Amino acid sequence: MVNFIFGIHNHQPLGNFGWVFEDAYNRSYRPFMEILEEYPNMKVAVHISGPLLEWLDENKPDYIDLLRSLVSKGQLEIVVAGFYEPVLAAIPKEDRIEQIKLLKDFAKKLGYDAKGVWLTERVWQPELVKSLREAGIDYVIVDDYHFMSAGLSKEELFWPYYTEDGGEVIAVFPIDEKLRYLIPFRPVEKTLEYLHSLDDGDESKVAVFHDDGEKFGVWPGTYDWVYKKGWLKEFFDRVSSDERINLMLYSEYLQRFRPKGLVYLPIASYFEMSEWSLPAKQAKLFVEFVEKLKEHGQFEKYRVFVRGGIWKNFFFKYPESNYMHKRMLMVSGLVRDNPEARHFILKAQCNDAYWHGIFGGVYLPHLRRTIWENIIKANSYVFTGSFVRDIDFDGREEVFIESENFFAVFKPAYGGALFELSSKRKAVNYNDVLARRWEHYHEVPEAATPEEGDGEGVASIHEIGKKIPEEIRRELAYDSHPRAILQDHFLSPETGLDDYRLARYEELGDFLTGAYDYSPLEGGITLWRDGSVSGKPARVEKSLRLTDDGFIVDYTVKSGAKVLFGAELNLAVHSVMEEPDEFEATAIEVNDPYGIGKVEIKLDRKAKVWKFPIKTLSQSEAGWDFIQQGVSYTVLFPVDGELKFRLRFKEL
């Protein structure tokens, strides 16, 4: 007989659309638990994230009652995590403990005293042991890949182990990767055959499955397979009645058996994450390497030595994510003694918007918008004033300016541009715009995953080949720099809008990413750079001060070359803009009910205006997402000598 622990992890990120919650509830969360109720001998360990629990509590109270009933019957074991589903390794220790405490308190409302943690995205760091123990946790669940990365063989991974850090010890259960690819995608018989093959007479042996609950109905093709074709009922029926399989919960296992011994796990996540977290060029090589090993039939033999990146690489890969994360850390330290403000910063730690893999993540503007909303609300409880500091730890100082209604952050070393303009009244960051970048899967159609398809069952999202549609490929463009407000361009007078928006033009000056000198003003800043345009001396000076409803900036541009000067503002406009636009105006009014609301850009003279949507191509569980991250507004003036103009940004 072999012990078997079956677990699911249900999560919806904070800020996701209500219809997504509703659809996932109807296609997965509700039918799964209703079928579980029909099989009283079936046991499930379940983790439900805080954002989803809050939604269920408010919208589906009957479901909460069902969970409470299943707990009382001994069919459900509640496994917790950080309430707002943070990656614990990415937040301060004090916040880790508070996040876990919040979810433990909710579990108690369901009648369960939770002692186990589902590790969000299975991102492990050894120093987590202390935080988990301080939060009253006895065991944690990670992937078998973590153990293999520590040098253990697959045959040694059918038991939990202890791991230690600084004298604190916790039990660690390995999730069986093979089960992750069998369940629920292959016929039930395949899982039973595998579990039976593990039976060698050792009564302490345990196989663990614990994975996304959305695989049971939300992932493409799974609703028909799992429910309409009866996979889940057959699975519950056969597993719970099989005399060679002993269904257990984590807590039951630990009451009966001791972990096998002591291991030391390296910083790790699951195998797919080690591909996704690599910079794009390296991720492409990683996939090629894995495929070569498979071609030669050597992947399984050597895969324990195949390691890619770690989760925190995403902060290197996406500077926008890094800046958002470091602002969250900054505010976390400021509001730790303020319970109201701290609640907002705990929400801002929800993991999804900080990274990207098979799901949209950082590419989904509505998820980033929610993170920024909570950072800004938390920051508004404390007046930080103005200061100069390296906020995002990139080795270059930022200038932070706070007024009654705004936070403004400039990067003098990077084009003297405005990289955050956050409104306290609207709780939006006007510059929450993700740059367009090449991802390795734009060229590599397959992911580096170990699954073995045999044509039976339903394909997992890792197995679905995807080709970029031609109409999207024609519009693909990649930025060589992050997008900000007040970015300074020098262009040839022959440059057209299409060349500009598709990044097929030549930047004639060294101002876009060059370093600016600066000096503070009362409620503002003056930035200037002496550089060159087409080999001739040039100078840009911009003097900005915050106003009650935005900012006013005075530009002085001097150029020895006859060129076009453009001041670009990238705004987090999410109302769909399909076509680029070119016109002349003294004012631009923006009306964006889905993002930043209404704003106006006013000039003291008529200018040519280029306006176009900034669209990124990312993969998702459904295929390709060609998403508008924002809209670029560039005001253009001919300059041959000296140019002066004033621009006003007004929040309406």
Residues with catalytic annotation? 121, 212
| Burial of residue 374, with CB atoms counted within 10 A of its CB: 0-12 exposed, 13-18 middle, 19 or more buried | buried
| Burial of residue 548, with CB atoms counted within 10 A of its CB: 0-12 exposed, 13-18 middle, 19 or more buried | exposed
CA atoms within 13 A on the CB side of 503: 18
Q: Return the HEC string of 540-591.
A: EEEEEEEECCEEEEEEEEEEEEEEEEEEEEEECCCCCCCCCEEEEEEEEEEE
CB 356 within 8 Å of CB 280: no
Query: Looking at the DSSP assignment, which residues form a beta bridge with residue 491?
Result: 564
Q: Return the HEC string of 333-345.
A: HHCCCCHHHHHHH
d(CA 76, CA 99): 22
Chain Cα centroid distance, residue 139: 26
Name the nearest CA neighbour of 129 among 118, 140, 113.
Answer: 140
d(CA 307, CA 98): 32
Number of DSSP helices (H) and strands (E) in the chain, helices first: 21, 23
Angle at which helix 93-109 crosses helix 339-347, to 10 degrees, equals 90
d(CA 57, CA 21): 12
Whose structure tokens read 């920051």? 379
Q: What is the DSSP string of 516-546?
A: -EEEEETTEEEEEEEEEETTEEEEEEEEEEE
Residues 6+ apart with CB under 8 A from 644: 554, 555, 556, 557
d(CA 191, CA 242): 12
Greatest alpha-carbon pair distance for the chain in Å reads 88
d(CA 208, CA 406): 50
CB 206 within 8 Å of CB 253: yes
